[in-house]
Amino acid sequence: MSEKKTKRRDFLFTATTAVGAVGAAAVVWPMIDQMNPDASVKALASTEVDVSSLTPGNTLTVLWRGKPVFIRRRTQEEIDEARKVKLEDLIHPEKDEDRAKNPEWLVMLGVCTHLGCVPLNGKGDYNGWFCPCHGSHYDTSGRIRKGPAPWNMEVPKYEFVDANTIKIG
């Protein structure tokens, strides 16, 4: 048959489909994106914590963005133990110096990087934390040493507003 006419039709079909696809995507995206964190959730981005009552060897757990944050004032032994570990021995190599800028204070999300449980303090094979759900062991720097978790416990963005107050987020 006449090929020229067919090509014209093909162009119309392609153009219609393309416009239709863009239109469909424009409608679908809001339906997907509405499930992402909303403005009120995002607004709770930072929290300030008074840590004046915390003595060495103790941990304060606070809630930030619905997740627990461990603030641990470490003892000298804990710091020494964390700093003498060789990087080669770590599953997720990170220096303790980078995780705790001020060595006495360890601030991290108290969330196991395996499946999100809250690890228990002072338990496990490395004197740090132990996750009861699937058996991940963390050291005194919150680094994963043994078990199914792939990463160290996450250190959030935080800063000392003054000597006694930490701002997380």
Partner 1 sequence: MSDHDYRPKSKVGQWFNDRLPLLTLANHLTDYPTPKNLNYWWTFGGILTFCLITQIVTGLTLAMHYIAHADMAFESVEHIMRDVNYGWLIRYIHANGASMFFLAVYIHIFRSLFYGSYKSPREIIWILGIIIYLLMMAAAFMGYVLPWGQMSFWGATVITNLFSAIPLVGEGIVTWLWGGYSVDNPTLTRFFTLHYLIPFLILGLVVLHIWALHVPGNNNPVGIDIKKPSKDTVPFHPYIVIKDGFALLMFMIVFAFFVFYAPNILGHADNYIEANPMVTPAHIVPEWYLLPFYAILRSVPDKLLGVVAMLSAILILAVLPWLDTSKIRSAVFRPLYRQFYWILVADVLILGYVGAMPAEGLYLLIARIATAYYFLHFLVILPVLGFKEKTLPVPLSITEPVLGGSPNLAAARNKESKIE
Residues lying near partner 1 in the complex (CB under 8 A) are found at: 32, 35-38, 41, 61, 63, 65-68, 114-118, 131-135, 147-150
d(CA 100, CA 126): 18
Annotated catalytic residue within 92, 114, 134, 137: 134
137 as an active site residue: the answer is no
Least distance from partner 1 to the Cβ atom of residue 7, Å = 40
d(CA 65, CA 67): 5
Least distance from partner 1 to the Cβ atom of residue 158, Å = 15
Toward partner 1, which CB reaches closer, 70 or 140?
A: 70
Least distance from partner 1 to the Cβ atom of residue 125, Å = 12
**Beta-carbon contacts of residue 77 (< 8 Å; ≥ 6 apart):** none
**Chain centroid offset of residue 93 CA:** 16
d(CA 116, CA 7): 56
Would you please indicate which residues are annotated as catalytic (active-site) residues?
134
